Amino acid sequence: MTKVRLDKWLWAARFYKTRALAKAAIDGGKVSVDGQKAKPSKEITTGNRVTARQGWDDKTVVVLALSEQRRSADIASQLYEETAESIQTRNERTEQRKANVLHSLHQKPNKKERRQRQAMKGKLL
């Protein structure tokens, strides 16, 4: 096997649970191959760089092997290798999200703050 459809490979590599979800992600512009937008029918080979968005994060991987069948997670993880830059970027963004969540866990506003907010909205003059 020298070439595989992109949507099949993403499904086999366990990036998405179904081929329909993989196709929707590709059509939505969340997946690119070698820096260019791709179609679900694009045939990929080993050595291609695939960037796929999963949730909040983008993963950039290098295709190491091809498969049209979905296997166990251990076998699926051998189909690709994530780049060091991708891992570093994902870790940095995760830390930023954690910091924002901790920052947003704010106490309930007191009476003065509520009145200030209402005044800013134009409710109290």
pLDDT tens, residue by residue, 60-96: 999 999 999 999 999 999 999 999 999 999 999 998 8
Encode pLDDT of 7-66 as tens digits. Answer: 999 999 999 999 999 999 999 999 999 999 999 999 999 999 999 998 889 999 999 999
pLDDT band at residue 97 under the 50/70/90 scheme: confident
pLDDT of residue 117: 85
Residue with tokens 């069948």: 69
Q: Is the pTM of this model over 0.85?
A: no
pLDDT of residue 6: 96
Name the residue among 12, 3, 29 with its Cα closest to residue 77: 12
The torsion angles phi and psi of 36, rounded to 5 degrees, stand at -120, 145
- Rounded to 5°, angle at Cα 90 from 84 and 92: 105
Per-residue CA distances from 118 to 3, 105, 106, 107 (Å): 61, 21, 18, 17
pLDDT of residue 23: 96
pLDDT of residue 123: 67
Give me the helices (H) in the chain, please: 6-12, 19-27, 73-77, 84-104, 111-121
Q: Are 95 and 81 in contact (CB under 8 A)?
A: no
pLDDT of residue 109: 81
Domains and CATH numbers, the chain: 4-121 (3.10.290.10)
Residues 22 and 60: their CA atoms lie apart, in Å, by 16
pLDDT of residue 107: 74
